[in-house]
Structure 1
Amino acid sequence: MPSSGKVLASAARSASYNMILQVMFRMVTFLLNAFILRYISKEMVGVVNVRLTLLYSTILFIAREAFRRACLSSPNKNQWAQTINLIWCTIPVGFFFATILSFVWMFLLERPDDAVLPNYDIGVLIFGLSALLELLVEPLWVLGQALLFVRLKVIIEGFAIAGRCIMTVILVQKYPDLGIVIFCIAQLCFTFIYVSLYYAFFTYYIIKNKDDNFPLKSVRDIFPRIIPGAYWADFSTVILVWSFFKQGFLKQILTEGERYMMTIFDVLNFGDQGIYDIINNLGSLAARFIFLPIEESGYLFFAQTVQRGKIAKKQPKESIDLASKALEALLKFVVLVGATILVFGYAYSYLLLDMYGGTLLSSGTGPTLLRFYCMYVLMIAVNGTTECFVFAAMSQGEVDRYNHKMLGFSVVFLTSSYFLTKSVGSVGFILANCLNMLARIIHSIYFISNFYKGSRYSPLSGLVPTPPVLVVFTVSGLITIFSEITFCCNQGIFYRFLHVVIGAVCLLITLITIFLSEKKLISFVIDQWKERRTDEDKKK
């Protein structure tokens, strides 16, 4: 097995590659939606992106997640035959759940109107079959991850995503009347590329590389077999699979809570589901590109700097001093970015959606959804940064208790989302998310306040911009709203351009004000940049 140092380095590379894959997937989805929205209806988007994609992801998650986590926990070359035998159990498990869920999707849930969206049953069968076929890759996926083939996953999934997108674009443009069948063909294209590349790579690797350390000696070893003098599978790993399965089932329900609410409780029609999904993907770009890397890097820094379970007074002075400055700077940065998105996003949501998806997005609830989502982005920014510190500073007991609180937060979210969507439509999902984030932020602020109680540090001051910045945010918001009402967005290109220019000027003034007023943040960034340059010069 690889050494600990190699595993750590590989884990870091794997995290980077996974982030690249997520960014690539989001960008491709963003661009693909911008294209296909001109050819298909919002009801089609709702059925495919919410209903059929949820079926596909649910089958895969239930069938493989527990097996992946258990088989990667302690594999070694002496047990690889048992590990492969066990991971092949994903096929019967997947078939069982694919059969049940496909039946539910076809006969128990609300169906789209066949006259408007024909071939729904074909879509259910194809997406279920696609999930089942992808399970054929699981032994090779686990093997690749365990042996640190870190680029393999990103490359293969990248090619498969590209193939699906190209097929979708071609079919949507050439044969738009095919409807759901377009996305069925594109999904099968993804699955074919995904499965074929995995088997092609490992077949080539096994044949060409006679590596004594590689656990598979022939292509036959990929498949399950009887092991002389040993059990067919390791019993302790089987128990671990069951444990992960129970955890994963709940996690999946909470992760995809919005889509399950839409699908099971029928709180939105298919058109509103499609619009919500598009707005959700569009609004989450900032969270994925800006705040997620900050959150992950921040957690790594605080985990290495702060001693768990000890309040600020009992921390080493140098460490807590640096951690406090970093926390204050991170909070100030994400608040400023989030507030900028909120202030300018409000007045430019309509224009952005009109340019992105045409009247399909801008004529209905789309602009209102995006405006509320801008508020949600600010809460995501604050919650992610405060929680990365909280998780790094909590004792193990506090972490365990917080997991129970998270379950409570999730129940509140699901309950509130149901009642809010019944009352105010798709905006209710965003409001429910905001309530969930607000509860978690309050919990984090309470923890951080107690952590620093009695010390001279006050990193939570980073949550509040300086008065000049607050003033310029307020004035910019009022000016851009007035500009939207006056010039945008049905009076021609010139007035749209004028609206954009006014926003650009306000944004420039806002950035200059931030640079001149937020001196502690600017000073911290400059100091860190100089320190990094000094370290790089020493290495040279």
Structure 2
Amino acid sequence: MIGRQPGTAIIAFSLGQFAYSSVLATLYIFNSIRETRSKPYDITFPRGVWKEGDSTSKVYFSKKTTHLAGSIWLQTIFKHCLTEGDKFLISLLLPIADQGVYAVVVNYGSLIARLVFLPIEEALRNFFSKLLSPPVNRDNLKLSVTVISTLLRIYIYLSIFAVAFGPMVSSYVLQFLVSRTWLDTDAPVVLATYACYIPFLAINGALESFVQSVAAPADIKRQSSALLAFSLSFAAAAYVFMRPLGRGAQGLVLANMFNMAQRIGWCIMWIEEYYSRIRNTPNAAAAVREKKGDNESENSLTKIVYFDKPWGWLLLACPRSIVFGMVAGLAPTVWILGQVSTFKGLLQHVFLAVLLLLSILFAEKELILEYVQKYKAKTKAEEVAKKK
């Protein structure tokens, strides 16, 4: 209501954000107090524990946990500043018209990342931090490889759809999201480029969730140093794309893709190093190389043999060759059809997307059947347990 008055829209938006965060924080605190009433601890006042071998003094905060929490908190602040760096660059290097185009594209283009990928990332942080907390056993290691590899493969399939069809349908979709006047600007081109940027966001989010869940404080510091170096290279790339090459807002999206590619590469190297340490640790390696159970099929995605192979977890994430063949066959047709400008053209692209989806389902039929069988077996076991 305040925003209806001239010049107050930004203040009204800020008050809305403040109200949202206040209610959310209050609900978290209320829920935490309620949940801890029946537990031997509470969050209202810290309780000390006696030092080991010393009954005269208490410890209120674990030094190791406090140090780790501080490192993660500092990295969160640091990453936030790096994330907002593109806003500083566009205000310095782009005219106001290009700034408006970039704002519109980012706000609509990032909806998928905020609504779909962000909740998955938060769930992965919780999952991996519990699953791979020391001591790590064979089953947990196998499950971690299964989850990260399967998720990456799904993201790669989504990336194929985004890169193949996103640039073609972006301008047609944009006219329904905003007014048609934006079609006369660079917004369609920038949105088409942003469609190719979304896969980078998804893959990077999954990989960084794994890293931050199992990394030690020293690894967090290494990552922060790498992020700083990547951000400097991002700023240089953004300047080159926007000024000398004259790509405007599109150049900033390309620079973001370059930055995300570096972060993805660093995470891949770190995860491989993590599994390599496990393979080279005698006790862990012995646990990993246990004989495969009878209930694990030969074509199972979770074959334990991949623990013994360098980059095995990444090989499991690669799509089947039939999918690449289908993409190679459909790509010329997609580009011949060109940009979608009518509803008929949209239906043609949808038909091709359905064909691609069917090829993916056919390529992954063994994996899908495996999970269906496991689900049926689990359901049957639960029914038997209830009868007993």
Separation in structure 2 between the aligned mates of residue 349 and residue 391 of structure 1, nearest angstrom: 34
Q: CA deviation at 1:536?
A: 6.9
Q: Give the unaligned 5+ runs of structure 2.
A: 34-43, 45-70, 280-306
Matched with 1:511 is 357
Matched with 2:89 is 261
Separation in structure 2 between the aligned mates of residue 531 and residue 399 of structure 1, nearest angstrom: 41
2:267 counterpart letter in structure 1: S
Matched with 1:290 is 116
Q: CA deviation at 1:330?
A: 0.9
Cα 1:330–1:404 shift into 2, 3 Å: same
Contact 1:329 1:524 in 2 (8 A): no
Q: CA deviation at 1:307?
A: 3.5
- In the superposition, the TM-score normalised over structure 2's length comes to 0.69
Separation in structure 1 between the aligned mates of residue 139 and residue 195 of structure 2, nearest angstrom: 37
Cα 1:539–1:404 shift into 2, 3 Å: farther
Matched with 1:484 is 338
Q: CA deviation at 1:131?
A: 4.7
Cα 1:510–1:413 shift into 2, 3 Å: same
Q: CA deviation at 1:324?
A: 1.2
Matched with 1:318 is 139
Separation in structure 1 between the aligned mates of residue 323 and residue 74 of structure 2, nearest angstrom: 48
Matched with 2:202 is 381
Cα 1:147–1:478 shift into 2, 3 Å: same
Residue 272 of structure 1 is aligned with which of 95, 98, 104?
Answer: 98
Residue 398 of structure 1 is aligned with which of 210, 219, 223?
Answer: 219
Q: Give the unaligned 5+ runs of structure 1.
A: 1-51, 53-118, 151-214, 216-242, 490-495
2:329 counterpart letter in structure 1: V
Contact 1:283 1:370 in 2 (8 A): yes
Contact 1:413 1:436 in 2 (8 A): yes
Matched with 1:456 is 308
Separation in structure 1 between the aligned mates of residue 165 and residue 20 of structure 2, nearest angstrom: 45
Contact 2:326 2:359 in 1 (8 A): yes
Q: CA deviation at 1:506?
A: 0.9
Secondary structure of 1:465's aligned partner: coil
Contact 2:102 2:190 in 1 (8 A): yes
2:85 counterpart letter in structure 1: G
Matched with 2:253 is 430
Q: CA deviation at 1:426?
A: 0.5
Secondary structure of 2:308's aligned partner: coil
Identity %: 25
Separation in structure 1 between the aligned mates of residue 17 and residue 364 of structure 2, nearest angstrom: 51
Matched with 1:470 is 324
Separation in structure 2 between the aligned mates of residue 289 and residue 133 of structure 1, nearest angstrom: 19
Contact 1:343 1:476 in 2 (8 A): no
Contact 1:376 1:430 in 2 (8 A): yes
Residue 128 of structure 2 is aligned with which of 283, 299, 302?
Answer: 302
Separation in structure 2 between the aligned mates of residue 252 and residue 340 of structure 1, nearest angstrom: 29
CA root-mean-square deviation: 3.7
Q: CA deviation at 1:436?
A: 1.3
Cα 1:392–1:142 shift into 2, 3 Å: closer
2:262 counterpart letter in structure 1: A
Matched with 1:346 is 167
Separation in structure 2 between the aligned mates of residue 246 and residue 316 of structure 1, nearest angstrom: 31
Contact 1:340 1:473 in 2 (8 A): no
- In the superposition, the TM-score normalised over structure 1's length comes to 0.51
